[in-house]
Structures are given as structure tokens and as C-alpha cells.
A and B are shown apart, each in its own frame.
Chain A
Amino acid sequence: MAPVIRTENLTKYYGKVRGVEELSLEVEPGQVFGFLGPNGAGKSTTIRVLLDFIRPTSGRAEVFGIETTADPIEIHRRVGYLPGELAMYDKMTGAELLTYFGALRQVNDLSEAHRVAEMLDLDLSRTIRSYSSGNRQKLGLAQAFLHGPELLILDEPTNGLDPLMQQTFYSLVEETKASGRTVFLSSHVLPEVERIADKVAIIREGRLVTLAAVAELKAKAVHRLEIRFGAPVDAAEFERLAGVRSVAATSGNMVLSLAIEGSVDAAVKAAARHEVVNLVSHEGDLEDAFLAFYSGPDGDLEGNGGDDAQ
């Protein structure tokens, strides 16, 4: 199937200030795509090109196969958008904003927007001026879902949401994915992307650092295994095993701490030949991979998933 979003060597400069450089990525239909990077990395720039608020300096971007500069109105019709810099009409109530945007979209049935607002526990009868930043975010989400769009572009969607509401948002994303729709969301929070995304693009200083399936990244992530034995063991035996990157022996070689990339299978099977008193595994997460990506200006990762960079 044709990608829902495609950018090709997308470059955007604001005068001399870098937005994004040579960004190429594709988002498949039905995917939840996480766009990860610190603030100022160029996430919002990319998103604003997709909606034709800003035009590429060079390269191009397509949504639904439509060049963004060619027919932005058709793209807007089919996209729900949550801005990163969220500002709304202060004098309106939440319900009035939904009425207004419903009218601009020629959507009379606002039940979907009201359902999302209700899920997020938002009082639509109050004026936006009186909303906390979390409530503004909820209203921003409700209007993004208003017309049941086939693609949702959400810039930092969980900003300002409390943890409970973040969970609600995650289930909203899962529900959207289950209905075959596509979600493109940016975040600077790694566990969030790990939790809900199928695929992740990591961007830093305007450039794509890596583009990979979340499962793939997890497989490359480093697991930490701590094994307590009934009798002293030889650390060298474990150092030779596939995927083992380091072994530290303590308590007179009774306890080994292993750092393993990918599967822990070989290490567990080796340990099983000895008497094992206890075994603690820390699940590898993207945090390690993520931190490694940001550890140096050239993204040198010591094999921690960085080979995926393209």
C-alpha cells in the first residue's frame, strides 16, 4: 500500500536557522508512528510542512500521495491535527470551539468530538480562558478527532496530561489503530513512544538519526541480568557467549552482572549448568538506546542500536 506520509530529502531553513535537513521517511497506513526527539530537533517543523503552514526550502513531502503544496485543503479534510504550540480562542467555551470547527469542516455530527472530550473528562461548558493547560490539550485532542480523520497528526499529544489521562489517550490511540487509521505523533518522552508506537523515527538537530520498528529497537536494547550462584563460577565462561557485552563478578565470583544485547538465551542456558540461587532481569528498554543516540554529537552508540541509522 502507498505510504500515508512520505518525505523526501525534506529540508527547511528559516533564513539561516535550521529547521530540518534532508529528512526522508515513510509512514505506512494503519501504523502508529512515533517521531521522537528533544525540543528544537525539528519535529514541529516537519509537521507544519505536512500541513502546508510552511513550505520546504528543498525536498518534498506528500500526504496521501498528495504533494503538500499542491492541495493542502484536501489533506486538511482528511487529517486531524493537534498543534504543539497550543493556543485557542479564549473567549469561546470548549463546546463553541467544537461547533466552530465542525462548521468549518461541514461536519454537523459532533458526537465523536464530544465522546473524546467525555473520555478525557473535559467540561465543555466552560470558557477556554478558564482551562488549565491540561484541559486545553484535551480540547485540542477532541477537535483533532472531530471528523473521524483517517490520519491523525499529533504534536506532543500528552503534554500537560496527567498520568491517568495519558493512559486514556493511549487507549484512544489503540482504538484508532484498531479501526485501521494512522497516527503520526511526536514526543520527547521515550517510554510513551515505546508504549504505543509500531515504528519510531529519532530526530536530532534536524536530522534523522534512526528509523526502525520499535520491536527491532527493543531487540537491540541492552538487557541487564544479575545471577546469584550456589558456588563460585568462572566469569570468562560467560564473556565468550553471543551478545554478552560485559561481565562483572562480585561476592567472590558468586554473583555475576551481565550486560547482554538482544536475547538472553545463551546466558541463561550457560547459567543453568550451575546451581542458580536467584536471577534478576531488567527488561531492556528504548531508554538505553535513546540515551545512547543523544550521548554524542556524532551519535556514536557502541553498538546500541545505532547501526539502524540511515
Chain B
Amino acid sequence: MGATMLSSVFRKTMWDRRGGYVWWSIGMLAITAITVAFWPTLQSDSDALIELMENLPEGMLNLFGADAAADFLTGPGFVNSRIYASVGSFIAIFFAISMGTAAVAGEEDKRTMDMLLANPIPRDRVVLETFAAQAVLTTVLAALVWVTLVVFNPVLDVGLSISGVTAASIGMVLLALSFGSLALMIGSLTGKRSLAVGVSAGVALATFFINGLAPLIDSIAWTQRLTPFYWLLDHNPLAHGFQWQLLVLLGVVVTFVAVSVWGFRRRDVTV
């Protein structure tokens, strides 16, 4: 193998992932499958669940993407809280961050950037092709969620719509790429691997909590709008299908990638 995979920076970036990617995929498939498999059990025991949910503080509900306890008791509400508003999205986010970090800062950290750039390829192409690989592989992770949900939905009577699953999965990709392109941008601006991974993972966790908890305090409720999670979750694409708010995330990704190109073009390559 190898010969055809090693024909561009884009393909080589995917080739680099051939070992670890299997595990990301298995993780994503497993969390999705386990979640929907639980749905019938939860539904049959709904009285106890309602009681439990109503006793939870409002913040906890918000954190998991529900406005009220009753949201958990619909199929879409349950899937949304378990996958798109929490674990599933975080798998995609951390995967994208790992790729965004490896792209420029990781290559410099391993000291292979000089040798790569000695080839007649512009720095822009290193940024753009590694980002393209990040986008493709993150999309495949979300596609695994899509396939799993679409297959199990009729079998387990979850009540999802295909347009909703499609919109929410696209949203998950854009959410993950927001943080993946943030890691790419920090790496492209500084060349520092630990900074790229640390800041973007920290921002991902911080904005997750801000989105969940800020609405509880009126004076800071607006800060929710600064988080990528708000633009995916607040308009609930899983229930309502495609929402224009997802385009805000696309704008964030495009901006971060553009700054990455500019940043790497202008600075010294570190050794």
C-alpha cells in the first residue's frame, strides 16, 4: 500500500491516521448504538424517569441540551442530549482538535516541517490540505452517527426524522471543525503544539459549560451566544431540521482557516 496514499499532503495526512482512526470510529459507533438501544427501556419506565428529571436542577438539564424535563422523554430529545449535545459531539471535537494540532504545530514539533516545505509546495497548501483531511475524516465520524441512527430509528421507534438527523449531523461536523480549525489557527500562528491543543480543548470545555449555565443568570445570559454550542443546539436541528444558525459555525470555520493560512505564511518556521 502507501504508493497511492502518499501522493499529496492531503492523502498523506489521512494515511497518518490509518491506525488511530479505527478507534475513534468504534467509539463513535458504540456511543450512538448504546444510546438508541437504551431508548425502549427508558420509554417503558417513563414515570420514574419524569420524577427523576423534575428533581434535577435546571442547570443540569440545560447542560445536556434540554429546556425542560419533558424534552428527555421524546426520542429526539433523548438522542440530542446524549449524542449531539454531549458525548458524540465531544468525540468529534477532540478528534478535530488532534488533527488541527498535528497539521502545522505537530509537524514542526516533530521537526519534519523543514523537509516537507523544501518540496515545491506553498505553505498555504500545507494548511489547506491538512484541513481538508480534517474535514473529511470528521465528516465520516458524523456519518457513522447518521447511519446508525437512520438504521435503528424505525427498528426501535425513536421518532427521528431523516432531515433532522442530517441537519444535526452536519451541525456536529461544523461544531467539531470550529474547534479543530481553532487548533489549526493557533498552531499556524505560533508553531506551538501544546498551546494549540491546550487552548482549543480548554475553550471547547469552557464554552460547553457557558452555553449550558449562562442562561440561568440573566445578566450573563447573552454570553451563551459567544459559544459554538449555542449555534448548534439552541435551535435544535434534530427536531426541526436545518436551521440557518448553523451557517454561523461555517463562518467561524472559514475565518479560522483563513487566519491560519495568513498566520503560517508570514512567520518563521520553528525548529
Contact = CB atoms under 8 A, between A and B. Distances in A.
Interface of A: 14, 44, 48, 51, 53-55, 73-74, 76-77, 79, 81, 83, 85-89, 91-93, 96, 99-101, 103-105, 140, 143
Nearest to B112: A87
Interface residues of B, number: 24
A77 B117 contact: no
Contacts of A79: 118
B269 A104 contact: no
A87 B6 contact: no
B12 A53 contact: no
B115 A83 contact: yes
Contacts of B119: 76, 101, 104-105
A83 B118 contact: yes
A76 B110 CA distance: 21
Contacts, number: 71
A104 B9 contact: yes
Contacts of A143: 115
A296 B16 CA distance: 50
A104 B121 contact: yes
A14 B270 CA distance: 11
B112 A48 contact: no
Given A83-B114, A85-B114, A88-B115, A73 B8 contact: no
Contact of A54 (B112, B121, B268): B268
Interface string B1-26: 01100111100100010000000000
A53 B120 contact: no
A48 B114 contact: yes
A87 B121 contact: no
Given A44-B271, A51-B117, A140-B115, 7 more contacts: A48-B271, A87-B115, A88-B115, A99-B2, A99-B6, A101-B119, A103-B7
Given A53-B269, A103-B7, A103-B8, A85 B120 contact: no
Contact of A87 (B16, B110, B269): B110
B117 A53 contact: yes
A193 B114 CA distance: 24
B112 A104 contact: no
Contacts of B9: 104
A104 B7 CA distance: 7
10 contacts: A48-B269, A76-B120, A81-B114, A83-B115, A85-B111, A88-B115, A92-B2, A96-B3, A99-B3, A103-B7
Given A99-B6, A103-B7, A104-B8, A89 B269 contact: no
Contacts of B121: 73, 76, 104
A97 to B, nearest CB: 8
Interface string B76-106: 0000000000000000000000000000000
Interface in B182-234: none
Interface string B245-271: 000000000000000000000001101
A14 B191 CA distance: 15
Nearest to A100: B6
B57 interface: no
B16 to A, nearest CB: 7
Nearest to B122: A73
Interface in B133-186: none
Contacts of A103: 6-8
**Top 10 closest pairs, chain A to chain B, by CB:** A87-B111, A100-B6, A104-B119, A81-B118, A54-B268, A53-B269, A77-B120, A103-B7, A76-B120, A83-B114
A98 B7 CA distance: 11
A101 to B, nearest CB: 6
B103 to A, nearest CB: 14
Which of B2, B6, B7, B9 is the most central at the interface, judged by chain A CB atoms within 10 Å of its CB? B6
A92 B110 CA distance: 14
B112 A89 contact: yes
A86 B12 CA distance: 20
A51 B118 contact: yes
A298 B247 CA distance: 65
A101 B115 CA distance: 9
Contacts of B7: 100, 103
- Most chain B C-beta atoms within 10 Å of own C-beta, residue among A53, A86, A143: A53
A105 B116 CA distance: 11
Contacts of B113: 53
A257 to B, nearest CB: 48
Contacts of A76: 117-121
B268 to A, nearest CB: 4
A73 B2 contact: no
